[in-house]
Structure 1
């Protein structure tokens, strides 16, 4: 089977892109919009509609492999790539991707993905979003050619030795952080609520009081409304560096505050993502290493999750080697080719840390489904329910994809139709 054509078209994402710098600077809501001027280059407003480019690889047997080029909600923040440009993405795909892929046989995923991910334009790597979407399509093409799921292709080509089972789902409330928690409890989501704690005054509160009250409410809401006493979700809150802002980057005060949050969360396990922003990767590694040491020395049961300043495989390796986090957020669009996401998840897992296959609400149904396959094949600790902030849609897309994939893998194993293939491709 060969790739005979490459088509691409602009499409919508499941959410919006937001100027994190402007929001941190206390931009105020105007309905669903924000008032004020953007601060991050590339934004024309603080909140803008999310955009993506859908890549379609036309195969010689008439099948079509799909992948979507998308960026994170907070583009251009925390050392990430600049704001995604649809016109630039279309041009890169047509000028650099299509000539490379048209006519190529589909004998597997890994080799062709690595080649595509390493392509250059004017001496620079192609946009991360472009590499992300095109390699999704390459994985889908390999699966179509082999008559397998994408998870099975990854499991085989990377020799993951991981059973294809659904992994814990992590859902996001967005700003509707009370009603959406009720949805999560009703559907017994494994990890919740994210919370979107991205402003000090309105979400963290003076001395962290608003967040502390929210964690207390969260605990009580779960205990009083859950249908089964066995349901005990992990609490995972993303604080966007606001804790560091409120406590003047003072690690002792931050550690004491995290201890207070853990008390409010008990008996549920607590993870805090991005409590402090040190302004650079090296600074973030140093701060996280010291804060994690302090938490361990004091017996404070809070896991630290790294996100910003941990955007590439090299960044992830730096955090892992320094022991600078308990959980590594492998933020799928930031890593470019999904071959990098696969390698990163496996690297984190091999080194004994929790590998979170994440991403962003600002993706598409296609990229979310591909992420589900990768999370399963790599044995991720949790996977983000995406796209969007409505809870139900992301849970349906990612959760159902994992359920179907697991059922197919079980059926194949039971019937003896297991995957066969050489190490450099799929037969």
Structure 2
């Protein structure tokens, strides 16, 4: 293998796909005026409750002249539930060029995991947002390793380095409606999205007393699928409720379960998943609450599946959720984990415990990070993969779906060494 090294590192502020929102301020009652939130921010790093999302593109120039790219990102609700603060793009780009770049020049890039380990250690030592920076750098380093291997297929590189030999397969795309909770559902159905609609159930009025409003919405989605969907179309229903089902039940597990059972009945024949049904305020509390909810659902014969999100931010966190039986699926939220190495390790941990992998991320990411994480999802065989970035439907479905299609066609064509997908 030719010894390719990093010749130089550039970083440039770019736009993210949606907005950064101060979740704490919103939960405290920040009002709305059209698309913006009113009031003062609560979470450090926010100048307003809602701010345009930012990202940072990292460009690595290799010794053979090839330039590879990765995008640094933080999630929409940064700085809460144990998450890293929202990135400030200009500040982070300058820090990468002045503090990280000198330490990366000359680094061999033929082996992804070795190069990434070095990059992550540098970021942890010198940056305020090491996870965001590590996320972007890992994408670029993975692209570099695939380039050195002579095939450019990041999914193949991941499988080779982790010894994964399962065939690549088409993954169900998971779309989120944003606030267009009805119109976007029609789009998803017409485009035969595999998992829908997310629903953005992020304010108490969208749940209603005893879950009335949310149950009505679930029933509408189920009916809409039956009305306009093709006869052979059978998607999974997935609603992210941001802990508000538990809030509607006053934080009581039994009351939370009653609402969840009501949602399951509203879904009719359609399988249903609920993400983050309750927020217990800490990792340990969240694990205990979700495990208790799952046990109660099982006692009632429910088939509703629980998806963990908040407080499952690291490989260690995800391992703890898995070991405690606290979730049927876990949202592996890629920017929170930082390096793509951590995403792979978290996914493999889930697989070892027979826990499903929602290969997620956030609406505030970019097209570059979305394409890179599509390769990760294919390599590890995720249960479902988020269509991102942005809060629409058409564009993220195109970005992730098209990248998946290209990868699968390449895999069917044949890998170096003769093994076919």
Normalised to the residue count of structure 1, the TM-score between the two structures is 0.94
2:115 is equivalent to residue 112 of structure 1: yes
| CA RMSD after TM alignment | 1.6
In structure 2, the CA distance between the partners of 1:403 and 1:10, relative to structure 1 (3 Å rule), is same
Q: Residue 134 of structure 2 is aligned with which of 127, 131, 134? A: 131
- Rounded Cα–Cα distance in structure 2 between residues aligned with 1:84 and 1:125: 9
- Rounded Cα–Cα distance in structure 2 between residues aligned with 1:225 and 1:205: 27
1:2-13 matches, within 5 Å, as: 2-13=5-16
- Rounded Cα–Cα distance in structure 1 between residues aligned with 2:126 and 2:190: 51
Question: What is the aligned partner in structure 1 of residue 221 from structure 2?
Answer: 218
- Rounded Cα–Cα distance in structure 1 between residues aligned with 2:336 and 2:108: 28
Question: What is the aligned partner in structure 2 of residue 422 from structure 1?
Answer: none
- Rounded Cα–Cα distance in structure 1 between residues aligned with 2:129 and 2:222: 45
8 Å CA contact 1:206, 1:246 repeated in 2: yes
2:91 is equivalent to residue 85 of structure 1: no
Question: What is the aligned partner in structure 2 of residue 61 from structure 1?
Answer: 64
Of structures 1 and 2, the one with the larger relative CO (CA 8 A, separation 6+) is 1
8 Å CA contact 1:116, 1:131 repeated in 2: yes
- Rounded Cα–Cα distance in structure 2 between residues aligned with 1:109 and 1:410: 24
- Could you give the per-residue CA deviations for residues 359-384 of structure 1, whole angstroms, max 9, x where no partner exists? 00100000000010000000110110
Counting matched residue pairs gives 416
Bigger Cα displacement from structure 2, 166-175 vs 115-124? 115-124
- Could you give the per-residue CA deviations for residues 391-426 of structure 1, whole angstroms, max 9, x where no partner exists? 01100000100110010011015x96449xxxxxxx
Unaligned runs of 5+ in 2: none
In structure 2, the CA distance between the partners of 1:122 and 1:98, relative to structure 1 (3 Å rule), is closer
Normalised to the residue count of structure 2, the TM-score between the two structures is 0.96
Question: What is the aligned partner in structure 1 of residue 323 from structure 2?
Answer: 321
Bigger Cα displacement from structure 2, 317-326 vs 116-125? 116-125
Q: State the 1:6 CA deviation.
A: 0.6
- Rounded Cα–Cα distance in structure 1 between residues aligned with 2:40 and 2:165: 50
- Rounded Cα–Cα distance in structure 1 between residues aligned with 2:128 and 2:341: 15
- Could you give the per-residue CA deviations for residues 290-325 of structure 1, whole angstroms, max 9, x where no partner exists? 111111111112111110111011110110111111
Unaligned runs of 5+ in 1: 420-427
- Could you give the per-residue CA deviations for residues 56-113 of structure 1, whole angstroms, max 9, x where no partner exists? 0011222111100011000112111112122442243124421222112221211111
8 Å CA contact 1:259, 1:300 repeated in 2: yes
- Rounded Cα–Cα distance in structure 1 between residues aligned with 2:126 and 2:389: 33
- Which aligned runs of 4 or more in structure 1 are off by greater than 3 angstroms? 120-126, 415-419
SS of equivalent to 1:119:
helix
